[in-house]
């Protein structure tokens, strides 16, 4: 077994546990609070995380069933929308019962990924991914959607160094950002120099002449996952390539998305 995949599976589990602990005091009514992310409620965020964690687990255990589910969703998404499809898929599951099912699901999936080859290729909605990449994507999505819940509940999240998985994903999707936005990709990415939650210094593309991005790992991840506008962070962005990247950064799959407007995503003060 690879230590890498064990670490990433555990990081996904721990990211989910942190969100689970945050919403533990919320009853069914409180789960209906509307967040700053596209008007989704907290319950809808948990439903979304539960659905796609279930899906990645299915991609391991029953690939034909996973592909059939994906085809069904793909065929009906344009007409109904993802929220409606996920609501239908839940078949009445809601509130604290949904939270319980999500919890059981992320724990099961994390355990399953501890036991498989990290290089194993898995089908997904976009290109096939390795098991290692699947776990990184699950942690990223949990962290990113979780930010909307932290914001809505007025809680400042305290990150740990497990965020490094998301940093690496953000750095590695430099080219994807330009491709999905149909822009010419620069010859080289800028240097990325970040301070980790532990105080460690993380540097990528050291010595690059394409510019530089400096700041905290948390704020870098907030920008590449589009949970904050770059102007709402203290990131220091130098050079044209770095400026272009941070204005449209997108580390997740799917069509091009526009980052939130300045000041629109922040912790609610009560």
Determine contact, residues 99/23, Cβ cutoff 8 Å.
yes
253, pLDDT greater than 90: no
> Per-residue confidence at 4, pLDDT binned at 50, 70, 90?
low
The two three-digit tokens of residue 247, written as one number: 């204005």
Tell me what the mean pLDDT of segment 1-8 comes to. 61
CA 19 to chain centroid: 13
- The share of the chain scoring above pLDDT 70, in percent, equals 98
113, pLDDT greater than 90: yes
270, pLDDT greater than 70: no
The two three-digit tokens of residue 140, written as one number: 């990223």
Tell me what the mean pLDDT of segment 137-145 comes to. 98
Instruction: Please tell me the pTM assigned to this model.
Output: 0.95
Spatial CA neighbour of 265 closest among 149, 148, 157, 171: 148
> Which pLDDT score is estimated for 254?
86
What is d(CA 15, CA 267) in angstroms, rounded to the nearest whole number? Answer: 19
Q: Looking at residue 194, what DSSP letter applies?
A: E
**Given 3.30.160, 1.10.3470, 3.40.50, 3.30.1050, which CATH number is that of 163-248?**
3.30.1050
Torsion angle of C-alpha atoms 78, 82, 53, 202, degrees rounded to 10: 90
What is d(CA 41, CA 44) in angstroms, rounded to the nearest whole number? Answer: 5
Which distant-in-sequence residues (6+ apart) come within 8 Å of 252 by Cβ? 137, 140, 141, 144, 225, 226
Tell me what the mean pLDDT of segment 235-252 comes to. 97
The domains of the chain are located at 3-156, 163-248
**Given 1.20.120.450, 1.20.120.550, 3.40.50.1110, 1.10.246.90, which CATH number is that of 3-156?**
1.20.120.450
> Which pLDDT score is estimated for 79?
87
């Amino acid at each position: 077994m690879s230590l890498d995949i064990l670490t990433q599976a555990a990081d996904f589990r721990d990211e989910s546990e942190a969100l689970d602990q945050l919403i533990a005091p919320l009853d069914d009514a409180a789960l209906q609070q509307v967040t700053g992310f596209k008007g989704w409620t907290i319950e809808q965020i948990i439903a979304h995380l539960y659905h796609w964690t279930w899906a990645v687990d299915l991609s391991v255990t029953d690939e034909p069933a996973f592909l059939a589910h994906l085809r069904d969703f793909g065929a009906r998404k344009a007409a109904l929308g993802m929220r409606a499809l996920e609501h239908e898929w839940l078949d009445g599951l809601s509130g604290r019962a949904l939270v319980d099912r999500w919890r059981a699901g992320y724990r099961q999936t994390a355990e399953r990924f501890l036991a498989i080859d990290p290089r194993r290729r898995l089908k997904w909605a976009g290109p096939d991914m390795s098991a290692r990449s699947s776990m990184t994507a699950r942690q990223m999505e949990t962290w990113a959607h979780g930010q909307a819940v932290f914001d809505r509940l007025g809680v400042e999240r305290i990150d740990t160094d497990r965020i490094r998985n998301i940093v690496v994903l953000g750095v590695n999707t430099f080219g994807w950002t330009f491709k999905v936005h149909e822009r010419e990709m620069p010859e080289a990415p800028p240097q990325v120099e970040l301070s980790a939650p532990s105080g460690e210094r993380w540097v990528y593309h050291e010595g690059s002449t394409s510019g530089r991005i400096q700041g905290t790992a948390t704020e870098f991840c907030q920008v590449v996952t589009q949970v904050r506008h770059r102007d709402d962070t203290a990131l220091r962005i130098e050079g044209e390539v770095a400026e272009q990247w941070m204005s449209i950064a997108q580390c997740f799959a799917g069509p091009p998305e526009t980052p939130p407007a300045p000041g629109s995503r922040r912790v609610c003060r009560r």
